[in-house]
A and B are shown apart, each in its own frame.
Chain A
């Protein structure tokens, strides 16, 4: 009985203690998160700081966080030493083409694997997935020889065309998403006389925006940040991409950190903007398809 007849003040006290504990816990979590964020943001801030430093300040110890003076000219210099405007246009077109190719080809393949019945489907799917096990370095030279024989080296074709032929990872991801779509919708469309192409484009695709956004962001990032591919295949400096431009600041002996950082800041902006804009889709897509990014 005693426990039922709990004193009012006692109750308040325990509640207050509980509130206090909750607050302490919350405070701890926030501090922890802040610490982790600081850890993650640190390189970005360092990049910003270095990008505004004069050459003599780049390597000083103890490190300087707020450069004096702020050398904004680093940005202008970085942009003109290497023709970055041209590289930006090249990279944007390249990334755009890859995104289109990746979305169209992977969603088509994924739709087939998720929604169509045909003999050997599972075996085919296993073979597709097994291609993920082969490291890129192994296929690099054979691929290069193949593209050279096609006469594609020196052009963007070896970089773009493969994205129009689907890849194991994105196909798998979209297939998982398509599997989760209600079969009734497609059934209804079939009864109304729609063919599979129509269902893919008019039903599966619109319902899969979050997953498609994820694919778009990842493939954009992949193309935007791709370095070895463009270096290997492009032979004309006029066709170079931003990542090659960044690499050109590094040579054996002299590394111009302030210019690398200034250029990196600018190169990073589109990726950050795209992520910020599509963030909701991105998280949702990764969650629904059961893939952790």
Chain B
């Protein structure tokens, strides 16, 4: 009997040993108060040496070397503010950040999705950077990504990289049908007229589509492009069924009817990625995409002749919201122990770091000088398009209103509902969302 208890004991001991082996490294960490003594054993520094924790989602062989280099440069220059980078999976980084803020062990700086920055600010999860002097940087960054981090006049993030959307057109297809390859479409009417020439059908089957506003772009873009918005200026009241909205969706529906919903759906089903992308393989002659789509073309069809122009508008004139942008921001959690140092590092990352990142990763930086410093036609096109680019936030009272809008678009495209009726329904659904979330 004693033997067997010894067995139980030994099994438990093995388990305990296993735990201590697995946890050994992390366990040590808890003894030191600084959030970030994971790699280096923190020597009691003569001066106050600070260790910052930095989170982002870059882990691939393509991304990692660049961010490592950027951090190494910082660490060499700042022996008293050492940064440790941890890659966190993209789909969980926001959850992990929020859990960390709640429990008081978030990193000191994190790279997070631009669309949720204001939400975190409203929940008091990220630090007010205006208090640290961020406002003086305002004009160094593009307005669109900068505004993404602003809430009630205070700044809660620094832009890292952003993007903008442009219209890509296939010059070879233009030449083939007798269009001037050096003149892209400027107005909605241009799109329609050019598509008349570019469309190719055999019987009912589509072989080439000139343009479709619901491919690569969506209702959310066209509503801004048509000088309206889904929300009032304060982002409090939805106006999804406003007259311009109805007009815009009618216009999209006209395009869909042009090709026929079934034919278009069947055609879309043949689209693929990579070298067989709809635009690269010539199935679509004009499409709207993030400007860095140019990198895909370079990769899969380096000899393709294409042009890039700002997104056409109804009257052919560009205005400050013909395209929208997204991107990633640098945020500092409210309960960092080293706000000044974290801000200094974030500032470095958003400026000098963004320049290195832009050059190596082909991402468009939020920092103007970094963007201007890159000699590349695509970057030039993006730079020129930034004055036409807006960041359109998600209202805090209905972050997911897009699903209701999308349903309206789907119903209209498939002919299930009339435009006005579908948008009225969406409006009602979103009003309910606001009510549920705010009690108003």
Q: Looking at the assembled complex, report how far the CB atom of A58 sits from the nearest CB atom of chain B, in whole angstroms.
A: 7
Question: Would A251 and B90 count as touching, CB distance under 8 A?
Answer: yes
**Are the CB atoms of B92 and A247 closer together than 8 Å?**
yes
B19's partner among A153, A157, A232, A238 (CB-CB below 8 A) is: A157
Contact status of A231 and B59, CB under 8 A, knowing A97-B18, A154-B30, A236-B38: no
Pairwise interchain contact A61-B270, C-beta atoms closer than 8 A:
yes
Inter-chain CB contacts under 8 Å: number? 142
Chain A residues contacting B86 (CB-CB under 8 Å) are 235-237
Is the pair A202, B4 in contact by a Cβ cutoff of 8 Å?
Answer: yes
- Within the complex, the shortest CB–CB distance from B386 to chain A, in Å, comes to 20
Q: Which DSSP category, helix, strand, loop or mixed, fits chain A's interface?
A: helix
The CA-CA distance from A254 to B26 in the complex, in Å, is 31
Q: How many Å from the CB of A65 to the closest CB on chain B?
A: 16
Which A residue's beta carbon lies closest to that of B57?
Answer: A251
Contact of A249 (CB < 8 Å), options: B14, B60, B99: B60
Task: Tell me, in angstroms, the Cα distance from A59 to B1 when the chains sit together.
Answer: 63
- Report the bound CA distance from A272 to B203 in whole Å: 51
CA distance A96 to B272 in the complex (A): 43
B59 with A251: CB separation less than 8 A: yes
**Least Cβ distance of A123 to chain B in Å?**
30
Q: Does B177 contact A (CB under 8 A)?
A: no
Q: Across the two chains, which residue of chain A brings its CB closest to B92?
A: A231
Give the CA-CA distance A20 to B54 in the complex, in Å.
72
Q: How far is the CB of B273 from chain A (nearest CB, A)?
A: 4
Evaluate contact between B23 and A156: CB separation under 8 angstroms.
yes
B315 within 8 A of A: no
Taken together as a complex, chains A and B put the C-alpha atoms of A148 and B30 apart, in Å, by: 10
Interface residues of B in 12-57 (CB under 8 A from A): 12, 14-15, 18-19, 21-23, 25-27, 29-30, 38-39, 53, 57
Residues of A within 8 A of B91 (CB): 247, 250
Ordered by A's residue number, 26 sampled pairs between the chains whose C-beta atoms are within 8 Å are A55-B274, A59-B272, A59-B274, A60-B276, A93-B22, A94-B22, A96-B18, A100-B11, A100-B15, A104-B12, A140-B99, A145-B103, A152-B30, A153-B103, A154-B26, A156-B22, A156-B26, A160-B19, A164-B15, A228-B92, A231-B96, A232-B92, A232-B96, A235-B105, A248-B87, A254-B60
A236, B88: Cα distance in complex, Å: 10
B14 & A100 in contact (Cβ 8 Å cutoff): yes
| Docked pose: A155 CA to B23 CA in angstroms | 5
- How far, in angstroms, from A235 to B39 measured CA to CA in the complex? 11
List chain A residues, Cβ under 8 A from B18.
93, 96-97, 100
Q: Cβ of B131 < 8 Å from any Cβ of A?
A: no
Contact assessment for A235 and B99 in the assembled complex, using a CB-CB cutoff below 8 Å: no
Q: If A144-B102, A250-B90 touch, does A97 touch B15 (CB 8 Å cutoff)?
A: yes
* Docked-complex contact B96 and A236, CB < 8 angstroms: no
Interface bits A54-84 vs B (CB < 8 Å: 1, else 0): 0110111100000000000000010001100
CA distance A244 to B88 in the complex (A): 8
**A169 an interface residue at 8 Å Cβ cutoff?**
no
* Residue contact A252 to B90, C-beta cutoff 8 Å: yes
A207-248 CB mask vs B (1 if < 8 Å, else 0) is 000000000000000000001100110111111000010011
Least Cβ–Cβ distance between A135 and chain B, in angstroms: 15
Flag whether A117 is at the interface (Cβ < 8 A).
no
A32 to B299, CA, bound (A): 45
Contacts of A100 in B (CB 8 A): 11-12, 14-15, 18
- Contact indicator B103/A148 (Cβ below 8 Å): yes
Is A101 engaged at the interface, CB distance under 8 Å to the other chain? yes
Q: Is the CB of A248 within 8 A of B89?
A: yes
A292 an interface residue at 8 Å Cβ cutoff? no
Return the chain B residue nearest A195 by Cβ: B1
Contacts of A239 in B (CB 8 A): 22, 25-26
Smallest CB separation, A95 vs chain B (Å) = 10
Count of interface residues, chain A, beta-carbon cutoff 8 Å: 56
Chain A: CB-nearest residue to B15: A100
Chain B count of residues within 8 A CB distance of the other chain: 49
Q: Are A81 and B63 in contact (CB under 8 A)?
A: no
A161 to chain B, nearest CB (A): 8
Which 8 pairs between the two chains have the least Cβ-Cβ distance? Answer: A148-B103, A155-B26, A247-B89, A248-B59, A100-B15, A59-B273, A155-B23, A151-B30
Residues of B within 8 A of A77 (CB): 61
Report Cα–Cα, A228/B91, bound state, in Å: 10
Beta-carbon nearest neighbor of B55 in chain A: A235
B99 to A234, Cβ gap below 8 A? no
Other-chain contact of B89, A104, A144, A152, A244 (Cβ < 8 Å): A244
Q: Is A23 an interface residue (CB 8 A)?
A: no
**Chain A residue at smallest Cβ distance from B296:** A253
- The verdict on A90 contacting chain B, using a C-beta distance below 8 Å, is yes
Interface centre among A55, A59, A235 (most CB of B within 10 A): A235
* Residues of chain A lying within 8 A (CB to CB) of residue B96: 231-232
A251 in contact with B60 (CB, 8 Å): yes
Q: Collect the chain A residues with CB atoms within 8 Å of residue B57's CB.
A: 251-252
Chain B residues whose C-beta falls within 8 Å of the C-beta of A250 in the assembled complex: 89-91
Indicate whether B375 reaches chain A with its CB closer than 8 angstroms.
Answer: no
A8 at the interface (CB under 8 A from B): no
Bound-state CA distance A228–B23 (Å) is 18
Mark B80-109 against chain A: 1 for CB-CB distance below 8 A, else 0: 000000111111100110110011110000
* Interchain CA distance A227-B88 in the complex, whole Å: 12
Which residue from chain A places its CB closest to the CB of B300 in the assembled complex? A56
Is A41 in the interface zone, CB < 8 Å from B? Answer: no
Q: Is the CB of B95 within 8 A of A232?
A: yes
Question: What A residues does B14 contact at CB under 8 A?
Answer: 100
**A201 interface residue per 8 A CB criterion:** yes
Report A239 CB to chain B, min CB distance, Å. 6
Specify which chain A residues have a CB less than 8 angstroms from the CB of B27 in the assembled complex.
Answer: 155, 157
Minimum distance in angstroms from A75 CB to a CB of chain B: 14
- Whole-angstrom CA separation of A55 from B1 in the bound complex: 61
- Does B62 interact with chain A (Cβ within 8 Å)? yes
The verdict on A256 contacting chain B, using a C-beta distance below 8 Å, is yes
A263 to chain B: closest CB distance in Å?
A: 12
